[in-house]
Amino acid sequence: MPLAACVQLNGSSDVARNLSVTETLVRRAAAAGATLIATPEATTYLGPHHRKAQLAEALDGPTHQRFARLAGELGVTLVVGSVAERCPDTADGPPTQSWNTTVVFGPDGGFIASYRKLHLFDVDLRSAGGVQFQESKRTARGDAPVVADTPAGRLGLSICFDLRFPEFYRHLVDEGATILCVPSAFTVRTGMDHWHVLLRARAIETQCWVLAPAQWGPHDDAGLRHSYGHSLIVDPWGTVVAECGEGEGICLAEIDSARVDTIRAGIPMASNRRL
Interval 54-95: pLDDT, tens: 899 999 999 999 999 999 999 999 999 999 999 987 656 667
Lowest mean pLDDT among 88-92, 177-181, 217-221, 258-262: 88-92
- Nearest Cα neighbor of 170 from 159, 158, 161, 160 is 158
The domains located in the chain, with CATH, are: 3-268 (3.60.110.10)
Catalytic residues: 41, 117, 160
Name the CA radius of gyration of the chain, rounded: 18
The 10 Å Cβ neighbour count of residue 72 is: 16
- E strand or H helix at 100, and its extent? strand 98-105
Greater confidence (35 vs 94) lies with: 35
pLDDT band at residue 102 using 50, 70 and 90 as cut-offs: very high
State mean pLDDT over 164-181: 98
pLDDT(45) > 70: yes
pLDDT(53) > 90: no
Lowest mean pLDDT among 80-84, 105-109, 237-241, 268-272: 268-272
Summarised one tens digit per residue, pLDDT across range 192-237 is 999 999 999 999 999 999 999 999 999 986 566 899 999 999 999 9
- Nearest Cα neighbor of 260 from 184, 176, 189 is 176
pLDDT(52) > 70: yes
Alpha-carbon gap, residue 140 to 143, rounded angstroms? 10
Percent of the chain clearing pLDDT 90 (strictly above): 82
